[in-house]
Amino acid sequence: MTEPVGKDAPEVPAEFMVRAENVHKSFGRVEVLKGIDLQVRPGEVMCIVGPSGSGKSTFLRCINHLEKINGGRLWVNGKLIGYREKNGKLYELKDREVAEQRREIGMVFQRFNLFPHMTALENVMEAPLRVKRRSRSEARARAEELLDQVGLGGKTGNYPSQLSGGQQQRVAIARALAMDPALMLFDEPTSALDPELVGEVLTVMQQLAADGMTMVVVTHEMGFAREVGDSLVFMDGGVVVEEGTPSEVLANPSHPRTREFFSKVL
Ligand code: ADP
Ligand code: MG
């Protein structure tokens, strides 16, 4: 048993899929997240927009254990990220336990990061085989189903180099879904794509949202935010400047920084 970190264990806010409470993150002496407060309900699609360098990726990476926060608290699916509670005290998680928490979260990056030496099918089968210890036949059946779901039923044997960027990104989405995540994070999933390939990826994401997946999406696609998002967050300088329904925030941004940003992207 590791030593308690000295903090009392907080109440678990079970009604939210993600809850961030005063989250701070610094790199060296540079504070990148300056107290983020956010909640995402189960089934909600939250879109996050904001200028480059405002801390959007860092926030997603904190949710997904790729960065460790320096202050505040972060829960996913009712579990406090990075800590375990016992007898009212908090203990830092061991690597194995962190890996367990991370399994509940799927992430899709700007770059597709597929394994180049594996076919689309093998890419999607990999984590269930290795991490979930599924049988080959079970993993294969599920991977085929997921590739079908993202419109790639006919490309299961293709290697990444034989797929377009949009197709590769759809494989990346299927690969994340193969772990049956409770939450999906997207970090500018269409920013690296040629314009004509953006739509096919957004369509898959829209379908996923319609199927009830909880999603946090960092994007510049304001059409997607408006049509698919339940909430829209504008971040700038490491803080949430504005939050509301997409129609509220887009039609009537209350903060000058939000207005200025939208005047550039819309
Ligand atoms: P966004 O995704 O909104 O463009 P980021 O979260 O990527 O913003 O970055 C926010 C700030 O944090 C930037 O100034 C960036 O240079 C800095 N930053 C991000 N990651 C690191 C890191 N690993 N080390 C040092 N600085 C970082
Ligand atoms: Mg980013």
ipTM summary value? 0.98
Q: Is the CB of 54 under 6 A from ligand 1?
A: yes
Q: Which residues, other chains included, contact 253 with Cβ-Cβ below 8 Å and sequence gap of 6+?
A: 234, 242, 259, 262
Q: How far from 15 is each of 26, 44, 259, CA to CA, in Å? A: 29, 12, 32
Per-residue pLDDT of the chain (266 residues; tens, 9 = 90+): 345 554 566 665 568 999 999 999 999 999 999 999 999 999 999 999 999 999 999 999 999 999 999 999 999 998 888 888 888 888 888 888 888 888 999 999 998 789 999 999 999 999 999 988 999 999 999 999 999 999 999 999 999 999 999 999 999 999 999 999 999 999 999 999 999 999 999 999 999 999 999 999 999 999 999 999 999 999 999 999 999 999 999 998 989 999 999 988 87
Buried b (16+ CB within 10 A) or exposed e, 211-250: eebbbbbbbebbebbbebbbbbbbbbebbbbbbbebeebb
pLDDT for the residue numbered 9: 60
What is the 123 CA–ligand 2 centroid distance (Å)? 25
CA 208 to CA 206: how far, in whole Å? 5
Q: Is the CB of 66 under 6 A from ligand 1?
A: no
Q: How many CA atoms lie within 13 A of 136 on its CB side?
A: 1
pLDDT for the residue numbered 2: 45
Q: Is the CB of 32 under 6 A from ligand 1?
A: yes
Angle between helices 165-177 and 195-210 (to 10 degrees): 20
Ion ligand 2: residues, CB < 5 A = 57
DSSP-derived pairing of the beta strands 18-27 and 30-40: antiparallel
pLDDT for the residue numbered 1: 38
DSSP output for 56-83: HHHHHHHHTTSS--SEEEEEETTEETTE
